[in-house]
Amino acid sequence: RHPIGKVTLEVPAGKLDVEGEDPLHCARRELSEETGYTAEQYDKLTTIATTVGFSNEYIHLYLARQLSSGRQHTDEDEFVNVVQMPLKEALHLVNTGEIIDAKTIISLMMAAPHCPIES
């Protein structure tokens, strides 16, 4: 990420293309574009306000299930490497400070009760 000068681990995300776009439609599009994956099921986890002190931005978080792989469709200026890992490992990376992106941390924490975590 250019603003912070770091490569980060993040969940797929993107902006609504047009005012009034269904956030679920955006989630489906971004999952496909950034990872090449499609999902049979999407569960709404929550909606968060990112920085209420100076922004009216909201982010809608979904859990994608029953994934099928495909081909990425990233923009020319996007450099996305798909990384798969068990939820337990991702949560460990949150706790060690290796995952620092707020939407990703919240997504992982919200998904945990809905997903089996191997011991």
Catalytic residues: 76
Question: In the chain, what are the domains?
Answer: 2-114 (3.90.79.10)
User: How far is 12 from 27, CA to CA, in rounded Å?
Assistant: 8
d(CA 87, CA 67): 15
The pLDDT-based confidence of 73 (bands split at 50, 70, 90) is: confident
Tokens of 16: 């609504």
Nearest to 11 by CA among 87, 114, 96, 97: 87
The dihedral through the CA atoms of 31, 1, 56, 50 has a sign that is positive
Residue-wise pLDDT tens digits, 10-59:
999 998 988 899 999 999 999 999 999 999 999 999 999 999 999 999 99
CA dihedral (36, 89, 25, 103) in degrees, to 10, reads -130
Q: Is the dihedral of CA 82, 86, 87, 90 positive or negative?
A: negative
Digit-coded pLDDT (tens) for 75-84: 777 778 899 9
